[in-house]
Amino acid sequence: MEPTLLDYYKAIEKTSRDMLTAAQQEDWDQLVRLEGACAVLIAQLRYKARTLPLAPEDRKEKAQIMQRILRTDAEIRNLAEPWLQDLAQILDHGSVVH
C-alpha cells in the first residue's frame, strides 16, 4: 500500500522528535544526519502532494502535526544556537589555507 500524505507528515514529525533528542544529547553529528533525512522526507512529501490529495478528514490532524513540528523545531534551534555560535567562532578565528 502506498503511503498517504498524512504518513509523510507523521514521518517528518517523528524525525523532528529524533532531531530534538539528538540536540538534547548534544549529538550534533546525529542531528545533521537526521536533518538530511528530514529534508528527503519533505522533498518526497512535496512530490507526492502534486498527485495525492490530502483527505478532508486528515486536514485537522495535519494542522496538529505541523504545530508540533514547529514547536519541536523551535526547541531544536534553542538548543543548537550555542553550538552554532561556537562553530562560527571557530570558523572565524581558525586558519584558512588558500
Give the ranges where the chain is alpha helix by DSSP (H).
Answer: 5-24, 28-49, 59-93
Amino acid at 45: L
Tens-level pLDDT at each residue, the chain (98 residues)? 888 999 999 999 999 999 999 999 999 899 999 999 999 999 999 999 999 889 899 999 999 999 999 999 999 999 988 766 666 666 777 644 44
| pTM flag (> 0.85) | no
Amino acid at 40: V
Cβ-contact 5, 24 below 8 angstroms: no
Indicate the average pLDDT of the chain.
Answer: 89
Kindly list the domain boundaries of the chain, sorted by start residue: 5-93
* pLDDT 10s digits, 72-83: 999 999 998 876
Decide yes or no: CATH 1.20.58.380 for domain 5-93: yes
